[in-house]
Amino acid sequence: MRTRKMTARGLCAALLILLAGLLASRHVLNTACAEAISPDESAHLVYLVRHAEKAGSAGDVPLTPAGEQRAGDLAELLAGAGIRAILTTDCVRTRDTAAPLAEELGIEPVLYDPDELARAAERVRELPGPVLVVGHSDTTPHLVELLGGDAGPPIHEAEYDRLYRLEITPSGVRTRVLRFGTRIWPDPVDVRVLTYNIHHGQGTDGTTDLERIARVIRGTGPHAAALQEVDAGTERAFGVDQAARIGTILGWHHAFAEAMPYQGGSYGEALLSRSPLLRVTAYPLPHLPDHEPRTVIVGEVRFAPDGPLFLLAGTHLDHTRDPADRRAQAREVRRVLERTAEERPVILAGDLNAVPESEVLALFAKGWKDAGARAGPTFPSGEPSRRIDYVLLYPAHRWVVVDAEVLDEPLASDHAPLVVGLQYLPSREPQPSSSMRDCTSFPSP
């Protein structure tokens, strides 16, 4: 959360000082500490974690010494989070993971049946929050989904440091993945992306105002943006290179790709980024002779100095009633982006001129994640009734959608901007985790 109570902030700082001697040999509390221990009084907070390291793979085994240490790390991390209830399955390793925090807070853990997760989700919603739920590598992601969150990739058999934080509100669920204790997995990469069809800067009031467009973009706090219907040197844009102008106003890096010549200049797509855009390429998309040319602009970008390289792509598919061009263009976009996605995860943002139920979006159903699925319609901006603007992620299983919002901005353009908060979870070669829990079973009702 961007807003924190001073008491929670001070507690986190004090905790970091107390543990400073340990940080040389073990990464105990990460940069997520301040957020993890700060209660949010406006939401029902739920933390969900798999049990810590276990001593073997058969039977109801206890924690290893490393697991006991991790359980202690969890207690230290959440001691100031205001936890009011703790749920755990009836296994030695889950009970022992919850025990240090339960003992420190004087809370008696509530047992839940890992084979009755829908009931467990109902119980979590009913309990006063914040709530901690300790489970297993197979049950924890499932419970996150049942609570309305985004679980992201499956939990690896050797992954014990993933902690989910859900903020449940009447308007939706915000998911974050945190890392704690001795590091096993790389930290999630936080990315915030906006897609915006800016209608060549002309608002619904008939005024062309790039300063207004820039204010809208800046107000959403993204790391990067994909813009559609961008002019460069056209008559209607008064000869202005709009991508360059908006980039200059923001102080961001920018790139433009021409889809077609227009009014003595160019009309196309733009990328904006706080970080440098590397190796920007434009790929023409197929179209019928009597339809407007289209393109997809693709740039490489690193959102953190030591983070992975991403492909950031922006496009604007055909707008005519006949969907043939849109289908062909979507196939070509997939071909261009998926061929390098093993090394570089993909963020595709743009105006696809297609609703979620269309054949065009069906082409992105396998392997891709629709980050704005719960955000609502984007067009027209005054009273949005159709969702045609998207942020799509590849490969789907490596992404967590933190939040997504269609902004209430009826004037700056005829489209409303869509902004999404994301986490990319880097991985080693994934292996399916065992679903064998080997602990006390609850009797059938």
Is residue 32 located within the same domain as residue 174?
yes
Residues 172 and 311 in one domain: no
Answer yes or no: is 441 within a domain.
no
Residues 23, 115: contact at Cβ < 8 Å?
A: no
Could you tell me if 325 and 356 are in contact, meaning their C-beta atoms sit under 8 angstroms apart?
no
Q: Which two tokens stand for residue 230?
A: 């961008």
Tokens for 69? 């240490």
Same domain, 340 and 197: yes
Statement to judge: residues 277 and 165 lie in one domain: no
H-helix segments, 339-430: 359-362
Q: Are residues 214 and 149 in the same domain?
A: no
* Whether residues 26 and 153 fall in one domain: yes
What's the pTM value of the predicted model, to 2 decimals? 0.85
* Co-location of 269 and 127 in the same domain: no
Amino acid at 242: Q
Question: Are residues 196 and 172 part of one domain?
Answer: no
Residue 36 is part of a domain; what is its CATH number?
A: 3.40.50.1240
Q: Are residues 175 and 201 in the same domain?
A: no
Render each residue's pLDDT in the chain as its tens digit; 445 residues. Answer: 223 333 343 444 334 333 333 333 333 334 444 444 554 457 899 999 999 999 987 788 999 999 999 999 999 999 999 999 999 999 999 999 999 999 999 999 999 999 999 999 999 999 999 999 999 999 999 999 999 999 999 999 999 999 999 999 998 999 999 999 988 888 899 999 999 999 999 999 999 999 999 999 999 999 999 999 999 999 999 999 999 999 999 999 999 999 999 999 999 999 999 999 999 999 999 999 999 999 999 999 999 888 899 999 999 999 999 999 999 999 999 999 998 766 789 999 999 999 999 999 999 999 999 999 999 999 999 999 999 999 999 999 999 999 999 999 999 999 999 999 999 998 764 334 444 445 543 333 3
Q: Are residues 155 and 206 in the same domain?
A: no
Q: Please give the distance of CA 245 from its chain centroid, rounded to a whole number.
A: 29
> How many structural domains are present in the chain?
2
Domain hosting 420: range is 189-424
Q: Are residues 232 and 145 in the same domain?
A: no
CATH of the domain at 193: 3.60.10.10
Q: Are residues 113 and 213 in the same domain?
A: no
By the 8 A CB rule, do 277 and 312 touch? Answer: yes
**Assigned domain for 86 exists:** yes
Q: Are strands 369-370 and 346-351 parallel, antiparallel or unpaired?
A: unpaired
